[in-house]
Amino acid sequence: MKVALFATCLVDTMVPQVARATAALLERLGHEVVVPPGQSCCGQMHVNTGYRREAVPIVANHVRAFAGAEAIVAPSGSCVASIHHQQAAVARRAGEHGLADEAAALAGRTYELSQFLVDVLDVTDVGAYYPHRVTYHPTCHSLRLLRVGDRPLQLLRAVRGLDLVELPAADQCCGFGGTFAVKNAETSTAMLTDKMANVLSTHAEVCTAGDASCLMHIGGGLSRLRSGTRTVHLAEILASTEEAVSPDQSTRPAVSA
Partner 1 sequence: MTGVFLGLPTAPRGVGHLRGDRSFPDAARDSLRDGQLRANLGHATATIRGKRAAVVGEVPDWAELREAGRAIKAATMARLDDHLVALEEQVTARGGTVHWARDANEANEIVTRLVQATGADEVVKVKSMATQEIGLNEALEAAGIAAHETDLAELIVQLGEDKPSHILVPAIHKNRAEIREIFLRTMPGVDPGLTDEPRKLAMAARAHLRERFLRARVAISGVNFAVAETGTLSVVESEGNGRMCLTLPQTLITVMGIEKVVPTFRDLEVFLQLLPRSSTGERMNPYTSLWTGVTPGDGPQEFHLVLVDNGRTAVLADDAGRSALHCIRCSACLNVCPVYERAGGHAYGSVYPGPIGAVLSPQLTGVEDNASLPYASSLCGACYDVCPVAIDIPSILVHLRGEHVEAQSRTTPEAVAFRALSTAMSNPRLWRLAQRAAGLGRFLARGRPTLPAVLPPPASKWTRTRDLPTPPKETFTQAWAREHGS
Show contacts with partner 1 in window 89-128 (CB under 8 A): none
Min. distance of Cβ 194 from partner 1 in angstroms? 8
Judged by CB under 8 A, the number of residues near partner 1 is 71
Tell which one of 190, 197, 228, 242 touches partner 1 (CB under 8 A).
190
Distance in angstroms (rounded) separating the CA atoms of residues 25 and 46 = 30
Check residue 235 for interaction with partner 1 (CB under 8 A): no
Distance in angstroms (rounded) separating the CA atoms of residues 138 and 149 = 9
Min. distance of Cβ 34 from partner 1 in angstroms? 9
- Closest CB to partner 1 among 49 and 251? 49
Q: How many helices (H) does the chain have, and how many strands (E)? A: 14, 8
Check residue 155 for interaction with partner 1 (CB under 8 A): no
Check residue 175 for interaction with partner 1 (CB under 8 A): yes
Tell which one of 206, 219, 238, 240 touches partner 1 (CB under 8 A).
219
DSSP element (H, E) containing 113: helix 113-115
Min. distance of Cβ 204 from partner 1 in angstroms? 19
Check residue 207 for interaction with partner 1 (CB under 8 A): no
Residues 158 and 125 sit within 8 Å (Cβ to Cβ)? yes
Distance in angstroms (rounded) separating the CA atoms of residues 86 and 107 = 10
Min. distance of Cβ 221 from partner 1 in angstroms? 5
Check residue 140 for interaction with partner 1 (CB under 8 A): yes
Q: What share of the chain is helix, strand, coil (3-state, %, to 5)?
A: 50, 15, 35
The candidate with the shortest Cα–Cα distance to 60, out of 39, 82, 76, is 39
Residues 169 and 99 sit within 8 Å (Cβ to Cβ)? no
Q: Which of the ranges 35-43, 101-109, 126-134, 201-209 carries the binding residues for partner 1, by CB under 8 A?
A: 35-43
